[in-house]
Structure 1
Amino acid sequence: MKKIIILIAVILTFNVQAQKKWTLQECVEYALQNNISIQQSELDVNVADLDKNQALMNFLPNLNANGSYNINTGANINPATNQFENATFRSASGGLSSGINIFNGLANWKTLQRAKLNKVATEYRLDKMKDDISLFVANSFLQILSNRELLKVLVAQNGVTQENIKNTEQLVEAGVLPQGDLLELKATDATQKQQIIVAENNLFISKLGLAQTLQLKDYEVFDIVDDDYELIVGDILDKKPSEIAEKAKEEVNDVKIAKANFELSKKDLELARTSYYPTLSGFFGYNTRWASSQVNPFTGENIPFIDQLYLFDGTSIGLQLNIPIFNRSNVRNNVKRSKINVDRLQLQLEQAELDLESTVYQAYNDTKNAKKSYEAALQTEEARKLAYEYAKERYDVGLSNSFDFNQSRTAYENSQSDVVRTKFDYIFRLKVLEFYFGIPINLN
């Protein structure tokens, strides 16, 4: 009984998954959570966070312990007496040492600042990848919608053709129209059915592409919601392109990344210059030793292990100053390289801002033109519909031949396809333009 319940639960779970239809928001969120490139970028952020923590730890002193144990034969220095002994004896030594950086040209401080900047830069790169994935998913989603609408148009057109075939058969039987007109319509019906097959394949391929982008294994049953998305009217085109471009510099991660890289290059220059300065460090050490042959000069007995550790221990404390005098121009050349890199990344930042401004202006014009194309397609469709209805009325009563009727019908069908194509092209370009203005991608 328990096995039957489990089997039913598995079947129901599969059916629910198979019947699930994805919204754009669900597609985007799933892609952001499961995309491998995004996961790799998240690992880069984790590494940057570790670098930042290590830069903080560099301010602390270090602490190390050491120890050794030896069996000595022949002539060896007794570590306890520091004298040569030609005998077999055992010896051991151990100690603790600690050091702290007091001054190194503020290199530790600048390294910490650089680590913080680098973490910000890696987060910007992660955000950019998420934006790219979101736009790609949105485009794929809209492509499915477009292919679905085109398929509906083709099916509807074929339905009209089949109705015309029925009417024409009656007219042919009544002797109003020649047999050739009926054959022409049947040929059109066959052609349309071929177009439907191609459209169904295009729809499947577009679904398959999005499912693979989402890395879904059950891509054969993948589908999106059946909502009939009407044209989304946004007010983004009411804004000036310059206003959108300025906003994009704050929102789009390409410029943010370029700015972060420029700041990193300046910090690298500061780090290179710290090598000109002397370094000052402090140290402290404690050590002790033991030897098996060590004897008390008064009693002639071996000195116990613990007593030797206390007897022969010692400490050291001091400062160490290093002053760079000549390093074969390594520091000078590193500084020069860093300066060149600063100039290079400053130019890259300026280029990124120019590219973004050009992209925004192009996207603005593309969106305006896409809107005009869609509006023109609607007007054309309306005109072609009236022309087709007029041609059909004349054809049905035998006042027009099949050639003129087919010409009118084909023009009307093409205008319907153009409406679908221009509609979704306009929606996507509108979404891209809104993205540059910082508006999240959605179809609501």
Structure 2
Amino acid sequence: MEALSVLPSISDVLHSAFFVYFCQMKHTLLVLTALGAALAVHSQVKWSLEQCVEYAVEHNISVKQADVQARMDRLTLDQSKAALYPTANSQHSAGYQFGRSIDPTSNQFTTNEILFANHSLNVNADLFNWFRKRNTVAANGFSYEASVAKFDKARNDVALNVANAYLAALLSNEQINAAVVQLQQSREQRDNVKKQVLAGALPELNLAEMETQLANDSATLIGTRADYRLRLLQLQALLNLDAATVFDVQAPPVDSIPVEPLSELEPAVVFNSALVNLPQQKINELNVKAAAKNVLVARAAMYPSIGLFGGLDTRYSNTQKLLPANFQSGVVPIGFVDINGTNYVVNSLQNIPAGFNKNTYFRQLSNNFSQNLGIGLNIPIFNGNQARTNWKKAKLNVASQELLQEQDAQTLKQDIYQAHTNAVAAIEKFHASEIAAASAQKAYDFARKRFEVGLLKPIDLITNQNNLFKAKINMLSAQYDYVFKLKLLEFYKGSGIKLHH
């Protein structure tokens, strides 16, 4: 009994087990909490423009489609190069024939059931085809280079769209900051008026007007935050990033965004640079070259071509089961002749098989082995005028590509000159908005001082405050507008899109 008393009770055991389990669960929960916090911190890292562009270039669907098309054109180019070499094909067949047919080994009619097999190897090579294949390779090479340029264009287009959406998000974020300041000022003014109303220095109407202004400013702040979220969602769509992903962007001060002086972005200089640097111009140039090579390809189809061919052939038939081993001379009746009503046998001295060997499968393949080698001449005479029509179409396609190249150059020049005009107007508008914002700030400062000493009604202070808010928003909008327009000129020039030095 004393020994048994030393053993722990069942309740003690359960208590100890529960304590160990609780400690383990507590440790697991701590680890999961720390991991979740780390993931949350990581997901809240703000994206820079460079990160957005890099991610968009890798994940945007349009860029992926351009990449797939470039790889397909690369395969077409590789295939056209492989077509320069001779072709070789091997055919093998086996079958069973019955009824009246031709024995494939003796070429005689027979009614026997035959098990047969045929084997052949054929080689063909072009000796001269007016450089049709070589020009096809050149045309496909230009087409592939154009596809690579299209891929670069897709990347540039995505980068430009991302930069536009990014700057729009930054502007929306600046509007939030302005709305926060506006709300803070309204709250301070409301609290000040409330104290004076409670002291009997001002009527309750003044407090009601301030409460209305505070409510309006609160609604403005909510609207700007919603607009910022929509801007982020639009940017996420360009990145092909899940809308449910926690996402935010870095907000560098607009004054820190580097822009080239307008004097270095003259439209003529930008246009000449764009003709060299922009992928679209390379695409058009390469398409013209490819079209010119296709004219030569189409023309070659109208002329004769010379080719070399060769082949190996053999066959087997189960009707040829025996093969003569040796021969001996003998008289063999070959027919009858009628002389005065009497038929006489006509005999012939021939070599008659004296022994036979088995005609095996491989022995037949060896005995029936044949070869052929020759030169072929293909002369197109009349094929529904198809070759000449294709040639004429190819020449018209060259003219079409040249017109497209000219049209794109004209459009590019017009866009650049228009962008430069818009940039000049945007800078002038920004400078005007700076003056307006400074004047509105001065008017608000005077109005606030007068309001604090009781010389101005709250409604007049509210009017000046709203004018200041609108002036700041207009100045921010004008500033981001001219920054983007200068960035657009930099993009045309080939400087890329950057928001920092």
User: Could you state the TM-score of these two structures normalised by the residue count of structure 1?
Assistant: 0.94
Give 3-state SS (helix, strand or coil) of 1:219's partner.
coil
- Give the Cα–Cα distance (whole angstroms) in 1 for the partners of residues 38 and 88 of structure 2: 58
Q: Which one has a bigger Cα radius of gyration?
A: 2
Match of 2:289 among 263, 268, 276: 263
Match of 1:147 among 151, 163, 172: 172
- Give the Cα–Cα distance (whole angstroms) in 2 for the partners of residues 169 and 405 of structure 1: 15
Write the letter of the residue equivalent to 1:355: T
Q: Cα distance, 1:91 vs. partner?
A: 2.4
- Residue in structure 2 matched with residue 70 of structure 1 by the alignment: 95
- Give the Cα–Cα distance (whole angstroms) in 2 for the partners of residues 162 and 13 of structure 1: 37
Q: Is the 8 A contact 2:258 2:499 kept in 1?
A: no
- Residue in structure 2 matched with residue 276 of structure 1 by the alignment: 302
- Give the Cα–Cα distance (whole angstroms) in 1 for the partners of residues 422 and 233 of structure 2: 28
Give 3-state SS (helix, strand or coil) of 2:301's partner.
helix
Q: Is the 8 A contact 2:312 2:372 kept in 1?
A: yes
Q: Cα distance, 1:99 vs. partner?
A: 0.5
Q: Is the 8 A contact 1:45 1:122 kept in 2?
A: yes
- Give the Cα–Cα distance (whole angstroms) in 1 for the partners of residues 297 and 358 of structure 2: 57
For residues 52-89 of structure 1, the C-alpha deviation after alignment (integer angstroms, 9 at most, x for no partner) is 10011001111111122233334332222222233233
- Residue in structure 1 matched with residue 3 of structure 2 by the alignment: none
- Residue in structure 1 matched with residue 414 of structure 2 by the alignment: 358
Match of 1:313 among 369, 373, 377: 369
- Residue in structure 1 matched with residue 259 of structure 2 by the alignment: 234
Percent identical among aligned pairs is 28
- The structure with the largest strand share of the pair is 2
Q: CA RMSD in A?
A: 2.2
Q: Is 1:136 matched with 2:165?
A: no
Write the letter of the residue equivalent to 1:287: D
Q: Is the 8 A contact 2:173 2:251 kept in 1?
A: no
- Residue in structure 2 matched with residue 397 of structure 1 by the alignment: 453
Give 3-state SS (helix, strand or coil) of 1:372's partner.
helix
- Give the Cα–Cα distance (whole angstroms) in 1 for the partners of residues 116 and 229 of structure 2: 80
Q: Cα distance, 1:289 vs. partner?
A: 1.6
User: Could you state the TM-score of these two structures normalised by the residue count of structure 2?
Assistant: 0.83
Distance 1:346 1:19, change over 3 A: same
Deviates more, 1:17-26 or 1:434-443: 17-26
Give 3-state SS (helix, strand or coil) of 1:308's partner.
helix
Give 3-state SS (helix, strand or coil) of 2:397's partner.
helix
- Residue in structure 2 matched with residue 210 of structure 1 by the alignment: 235
Give 3-state SS (helix, strand or coil) of 2:175's partner.
helix
- Residue in structure 1 matched with residue 206 of structure 2 by the alignment: 181
Write the letter of the residue equivalent to 1:347: L
- Give the Cα–Cα distance (whole angstroms) in 2 for the partners of residues 8 and 173 of structure 1: 50
- Residue in structure 1 matched with residue 323 of structure 2 by the alignment: 296
For residues 239-296 of structure 1, the C-alpha deviation after alignment (integer angstroms, 9 at most, x for no partner) is 2210011101112222222222222222222211111211111101011122222232
Write the letter of the residue equivalent to 1:390: F
Q: How many residues align?
A: 444
Runs of 4+ in 1 over 6 A off after TM superposition: none
Q: Is 1:42 matched with 2:98?
A: no
Deviates more, 1:203-212 or 1:400-409: 400-409
- Give the Cα–Cα distance (whole angstroms) in 2 for the partners of residues 224 and 332 of structure 1: 60
- Give the Cα–Cα distance (whole angstroms) in 2 for the partners of residues 16 and 278 of structure 1: 73
- Give the Cα–Cα distance (whole angstroms) in 1 for the partners of residues 239 and 76 of structure 2: 32
- Give the Cα–Cα distance (whole angstroms) in 1 for the partners of residues 158 and 54 of structure 2: 10
Q: Is the 8 A contact 2:233 2:243 kept in 1?
A: no
- Give the Cα–Cα distance (whole angstroms) in 2 for the partners of residues 201 and 327 of structure 1: 68
Give 3-state SS (helix, strand or coil) of 2:115's partner.
strand
Q: Is the 8 A contact 1:208 1:220 kept in 2?
A: no
Give 3-state SS (helix, strand or coil) of 1:276's partner.
coil
Q: Is 1:322 matched with 2:349?
A: no
Distance 1:78 1:126, change over 3 A: same
Write the letter of the residue equivalent to 1:311: N
Q: Following superposition of structure 1 onto structure 2, how do residues 376-415 of structure 1 map, counting pairs within 5 Å?
A: 376-415=432-471
Deviates more, 1:318-327 or 1:394-403: 394-403
Q: Is the 8 A contact 1:176 1:398 kept in 2?
A: no
- Residue in structure 1 matched with residue 111 of structure 2 by the alignment: 86
Deviates more, 1:254-263 or 1:123-132: 254-263
Q: Cα distance, 1:400 vs. partner?
A: 2.6
- Give the Cα–Cα distance (whole angstroms) in 2 for the partners of residues 433 and 31 of structure 1: 22
Write the letter of the residue equivalent to 1:223: D
Give 3-state SS (helix, strand or coil) of 1:230's partner.
helix
- Give the Cα–Cα distance (whole angstroms) in 2 for the partners of residues 220 and 204 of structure 1: 12
Q: Is the 8 A contact 1:259 1:349 kept in 2?
A: yes
Unaligned residue ranges in structure 2 (runs of 5+): 1-23, 325-352
- Give the Cα–Cα distance (whole angstroms) in 1 for the partners of residues 496 and 363 of structure 2: 75
Match of 2:427 among 361, 371, 389: 371
Write the letter of the residue equivalent to 1:169: K
Unaligned residue ranges in structure 1 (runs of 5+): none
Distance 1:80 1:415, change over 3 A: same
Q: Cα distance, 1:422 vs. partner?
A: 1.2
